[in-house]
Amino acid sequence: MTDSVLPFTGERFTPECVREIAYEHWHRYAFARMLAPGRRVLDAACGEGYGSALLAGVGADVLGVDIDAVAIDHARSRYGGTPGLQFEQADATRLDHLADASFDLVVSFETLEHVEAQEHLLDGFARLLRPEGLLLISTPDRRNYSELAGEINPHHVRELYRDEFEAFLAPRFTHVRLYAQKLLFQSALWAMDDLGGSTQAVTATDTGLQPGLTYPPMYYLAVCARDSQTLAALPALSLYGDASESVYADYRDEVRRNRAAAAHIAHLEAELARLRALGEP
């Protein structure tokens, strides 16, 4: 295992990225990790390999595949010493060489929007899963990610609206639990007695307090199965953060800089007004 770094190009996440993008990507794999213990896992379009390595810490064995030879060489170099973990160069839409019903868990995060053959991608995942298996697949919400933001990701071939995403999944998986994902600024209360209990969420809106998290999703993460019981134990809410609070720390630093700049501007304006009052040019 080496400490080599794969350059960040904007097309795939690397673990050297920080703050918002890191929260989004690590959270998906952290969510998948709770479902991976003892399972044979396929990480389709694994990219740099960090997520496959995280899953390998609990999975029975993990196969990471990616179409990019450079990414796979890097993943083998950086994570090759991880027990039960293998990497293979392969197109996620063309996995015909893998046996039917050979995986308990398939994860494919932020892949769907990058490929033309979206139907074939999902057909392949359905074929590879055992009857009691799970598929975790994520994709950005087209309206909130692109249309409202006014920015187009040049690496995305086709983004989907929620109804289109669900329509893709429905013919292949009779049971789907859809999660919304978005970075939020929240106040958190958690029980410190560790006795369990239900979850409460409240959102302040223009019309008052509303139950739940009533935000427009930035991404969707679907957990797909053929058996409803497989989804029964899934949490209603999953939270992810880093102990250093990197996003919040960056926000506080930005506020400090803005306040310092505003104070400096106010000082300059006051000095300018003083000089003008003295009749100085």
Residue 247 covered by a domain:
yes
pLDDT band, residue 281 (cuts 50/70/90): low
Residue 7 covered by a domain:
no
Question: Do 152 and 109 share a structural domain?
Answer: yes
Question: Do 273 and 213 share a structural domain?
Answer: no
Instruction: Tell me the average pLDDT across 249-276.
Output: 88
Residue 12 covered by a domain:
no
Residue 164 covered by a domain:
yes
Q: Domain range for residue 280?
A: 243-281
Which residues make Cβ contacts (< 8 Å) with residue 89, sequence separation at least 6? 65, 66, 67, 68, 69, 72
Q: At 59, which CATH number?
A: 3.40.50.150
**How many separate domains does the chain show?**
2
Question: Do 219 and 138 share a structural domain?
Answer: yes
**Digit-coded pLDDT (tens) for 69-111:** 999 999 999 998 899 999 999 999 999 999 999 999 999 999 9
Q: In degrees, to the nearest 5, what angle opens at C-alpha 280 toward C-alphas 279 and 281?
A: 120
Residue type, 161: Y
pTM of the predicted protein model:
0.86
Round to whole Å and give the CA distance between 281 and 275.
7
Nearest to 8 by CA among 48, 45, 44, 43: 48
Residue carrying structure tokens 């409803």? 228
Question: Do 260 and 153 share a structural domain?
Answer: no
**Digit-coded pLDDT (tens) for 4-37:** 777 766 667 777 767 788 899 999 999 999 999 9
**Digit-coded pLDDT (tens) for 35-57:** 999 999 999 999 999 999 999 99
**Digit-coded pLDDT (tens) for 209-261:** 899 999 999 999 999 999 888 898 899 999 999 888 888 888 788 888 888 89
pLDDT at 11: 67
Give the count of beta carbons closer than 10 Å to the beta carbon of residue 135: 25
Question: Do 263 and 182 share a structural domain?
Answer: no
**Digit-coded pLDDT (tens) for 117-163:** 999 999 999 999 999 999 999 999 999 999 998 888 888 999 999 99
Nearest to 244 by CA among 232, 252, 236: 252
Question: Do 121 and 84 share a structural domain?
Answer: yes
Which string of DSSP letters, residue by residue, matches 25-73?
HHHHHHHHHTT-BT-EEEEET-TTSHHHHHHHTTBSEEEEEES-HHHHH
Residue 13 covered by a domain:
no
Question: Do 139 and 234 share a structural domain?
Answer: yes
pLDDT at 56: 96
Number of helices (H), then strands (E), belonging to the chain: the values are 7, 9
